[in-house]
Amino acid sequence: MKKNNINRRSFLQVTALAGGGFMLGLYPKATTVLAQGPPRQAPLVPMNFISIAPNGIVTLTSKNTEIGQNIYNTLPMLIAEELDVDWKAVKVVRADADNKYGGQFTGGSSATPGNWEPMRQVGAAGRQMLIAAAAQTWGVAEAECSTASGRVHHKASNRSLGYGELATKAASMPVPDLRSVKLKDPKDYKIIGTSTISVETKEILTGKPIFGIDVKVPGMLYAVMQRTPVLGGKAVSANLDVIKAMKGVKAAFIIEGRPLRSDYPNYLFEDAGFESGVAIVADSWWAAQSAREKLEVKWDAGKWGAQDSVENAKKAVELSKRTPMRTLRKDGDVEPVFNRADIKAVEANYTIPFIAHGTMEPQNCTAHFKDGKIELWMAGQIPQSGRTMVAQLLKLPESDVTVHNVRGGGGFGRRAYNDLMLDAAWISKTVGAPVKLLWSREDDMQHDYYRCGGFQFMKGAVDKDGKLVAWHDHFVGYGEGNAFAHDGGFQPNEFPALFVPNFHVQSSVMGLGLKTGALRAPYSNSTAWVIQSFIDELAHAAGKDPVQFRLELLAAPQITPAAPAGRGPGPQGLNAARMTGVLKLVAEKSGWGQRKLPKGTAQGVAFHFSHRGYFAEVAEVTVAANKKIKVNKVWVAADVGSHIINPSSAETQVQGAVIDGLSEMIQEITLKNGAVVQSNYHQHPWLKISQAPPQIEVHFLKTNNPPTGLGEPALPPILPAVCNAIFTATGERIRTMPMTKQGFSFA
């Protein structure tokens, strides 16, 4: 999703702290490239990561937003390791949204790969300066000094000084070049590779007000907003006088909103959408929400008012019968292969629904407009972008917009969109008071940036040796012309691109009046299900074991594409050897093909490469006669590089991703009369504890590659793994999600 190149062009600078101590900062010189948006020039100001006070307290800053991925531990752990301080002596602080931190982007599982090297270098540089300070104090050579647990030691003279005692002097030491600092031998790691408890766990367990919803500003009012139920609709009039007369209500007004720049903008950076609606502001949230029950709004639904999911599905089938609008990738020629007599062809149509994020903490933002400046509190995955949008909306210089980044009760991509900042800013400015805008669950579910739906019309062929020789995919999605709905396209270079000599991916689009966006493992969360299910269909057609078929496919000679359309030549750099490694490991750990399973119970396998991570998963599933399924156990084999920074946290991320993926098998957002039908968790459920697999075994295959992220890549393979197991157990192939459409549900 994004590249964060701070390691390439950065330099260190030290600042003496008032009252003693030092602060070590990294000056990003780079342009931080956000793959889906315009490049953002990082200014030449320091991002300060290490502060050491004379009393020895080491404060490390986490620039990313915590939404449950445990980033408050991950980044500071990297610094602390090389700084050589005890983890328990470290205090972690969160950074506000500020361009001085370079790209503050929480998403794309990008934090680990983007920070693995620079954060360790920052720590090592700090250590080097502390050693220099000690050596000078003692009049000894730096090489004679060593560090441990936040102290510099001179063994020969049996002297030592704490980092706090050295901090002020260290601030006057020469700053090392980032590239020249010596990093630890990994065998000496004391923190990396050790499980640390999340720095805010205690606050969570004692109910401390650390989430966005908990923000309190003196004199704060509470707001609800009834947004247009149809994208692009407008509130024409409302019974505002009735609402204003209700108990506790301070203000009620129509928000005109602002037309979108186009139907398919990139909501991340271009336009979060400032939609029309009615705001109610009261002295308590409950008063505002209660008043809303009496609210009557006359809406102009606009051009999408008749949109309907059933009609869209019919349209997709019609489009599938026509010549596809575009070719996204073409290698070889599939048609002659399909006409051959010695092949076995398989055709299958897969339906991907829209689904919602449903973060447990409903979207909210607190805004305080005062004296021409505004302060906002929100858990934002891309807070700098929100700051820019608010500045534009209120016509303020960005320097007059302050965004405080708070903890988010889940993100999953939803908090990458800054629409709530716009609403809250507007409401606060209108009423001239600090306002907390809090959505109800219904608001949240009905005004999301949904994982985009789509339809995949697949055709493949295996030859008489059971080799995959042709692959054709007609993806019918949403958009217009060459534009797909945001994050609703199809990546034509996904595996098995390059591994199949005749490979053709085409697309057609139809219009959509719904905001779409990134949901945990964007694209991959639906693509992997289709591709790995269809590969399974082909494996069965070839009469081969599904693991064996995949191993052979990974071993197939890779073709050299003549002139690939789409985004680059291969499946985004998939390394066949690494994928083979995790596939073999998961087969071994799960006892694939080794155990006799009772009738109605079967294993299914799938793999997927996304966000730089290699994941292969096996699910063991029991299907009852009434199509109730129980996932008995899941085995995950993952290759995310040479080190697992925080093993406890890594394990729970993977287990959570598996459970999240299973939940996606029973979720669907549909449209009727242009509006979202589902409103709360009963209509768009997540797995309950009784439905979660009792065991999810996670195995990390450590390979000599730089560590990469874990927020997302464990999710995609679980859906096809389970569907493939269901097929083996029942002979029925799930080609439509949610699986409830085919009568399957979790027991």
Partner 1 sequence: MIRMKVNGKNQQFDGDPEMPLLWVLRDELDLKGTKFGCGMGLCGACTVHLNGKPIRACLTPVSAAANKSVTTIEGLSTDGTHPVQAAWQDLDVPQCGYCQAGQIMSACALLAKTPKPTDADIDAAMNGNLCRCGTYLRIRAAVHKAAEAMPAKPVKAANSGAASRRGGTK
Residues 642-671 that bind partner 1 (CB under 8 A): 648-649, 652-653, 655-660, 663
Nearer to partner 1, 201 or 339 (CB): 201
Question: Per DSSP, what are the bridge partners of residue 279?
Answer: 225, 253
Question: Cβ of residue 207: shortest distance to partner 1, in angstroms?
Answer: 2
Nearer to partner 1, 477 or 661 (CB): 661
Contact (CB, 8 A) for 117 and 79: no
Give the separation between CA 353 and CA 677, rounded to whole angstroms: 13
Cβ neighbours around 335 below 10 Å, total: 11
The reply to whether 628 sits near partner 1 by the rule CB under 8 A is no
One of 84, 271, 275, 361 touching partner 1 (CB under 8 A): 361
The reply to whether 358 sits near partner 1 by the rule CB under 8 A is yes
Nearer to partner 1, 36 or 226 (CB): 226
One of 13, 149, 194, 402 touching partner 1 (CB under 8 A): 194
| Residue among 8, 5, 21 nearest 126 (CA) | 21
Q: Which one of the spans 194-202, 463-471, 562-570, 729-737 is the region binding partner 1 (CB under 8 A)?
A: 194-202
The reply to whether 106 sits near partner 1 by the rule CB under 8 A is no
Computed over its alpha carbons, how large is the radius of gyration of the chain? 27
| Count of residues in contact with partner 1, rule CB under 8 A | 71
Task: Tell me if residue 529 falls in helix, strand or coil.
Answer: helix
The reply to whether 109 sits near partner 1 by the rule CB under 8 A is no
Contact (CB, 8 A) for 303 and 228: no
Question: Cβ of residue 71: shortest distance to partner 1, in angstroms?
Answer: 11
One of 5, 32, 70, 384 touching partner 1 (CB under 8 A): 70
Pairing of strands 435-438, 221-227: parallel
The DSSP-derived string for 3-29 is: ---TTTSEEEEEEEPTTS-EEEEEEE-
| Residue among 65, 68, 54 nearest 23 (CA) | 54
Six-digit token string for 373:
């400046």
The reply to whether 285 sits near partner 1 by the rule CB under 8 A is yes
One of 35, 44, 197, 245 touching partner 1 (CB under 8 A): 197
Question: Cβ of residue 182: shortest distance to partner 1, in angstroms?
Answer: 27
Q: Per-residue x/- mask for partner 1, residues 463 to 502, rule CB under 8 A?
A: ----------------------------------------
The reply to whether 581 sits near partner 1 by the rule CB under 8 A is no
Q: Which one of the spans 7-15, 68-76, 314-322, 564-572 is the region binding partner 1 (CB under 8 A)?
A: 68-76
Contacts of residue 721, defined as CB under 8 A and 6 or more positions apart, other chains included, come to 532, 604, 605, 606, 617, 618, 619, 634
The reply to whether 363 sits near partner 1 by the rule CB under 8 A is no
Q: Per-residue x/- mask for partner 1, residues 232 to 271, rule CB under 8 A?
A: ---------------x------------------------
Give the separation between CA 89 and CA 81, rounded to whole angstroms: 12
Question: Cβ of residue 696: shortest distance to partner 1, in angstroms?
Answer: 6
Contacts of residue 17, defined as CB under 8 A and 6 or more positions apart, other chains included, come to 23, 51, 53, 167, 168, 171
The reply to whether 383 sits near partner 1 by the rule CB under 8 A is no
Contact (CB, 8 A) for 674 and 229: yes
Residues 388-447 that bind partner 1 (CB under 8 A): 407-412, 438, 440-442
Residues 672-691 that bind partner 1 (CB under 8 A): 680-682, 686-690
Contact (CB, 8 A) for 553 and 325: no
Task: Tell me if residue 572 falls in helix, strand or coil.
Answer: coil
Give the separation between CA 344 and CA 337, rounded to whole angstroms: 10
Nearer to partner 1, 96 or 200 (CB): 200
Question: Cβ of residue 319: shortest distance to partner 1, in angstroms?
Answer: 35
First to last CA, the chain: 36
Q: Which one of the spans 40-48, 178-186, 195-203, 557-565 is the region binding partner 1 (CB under 8 A)?
A: 195-203
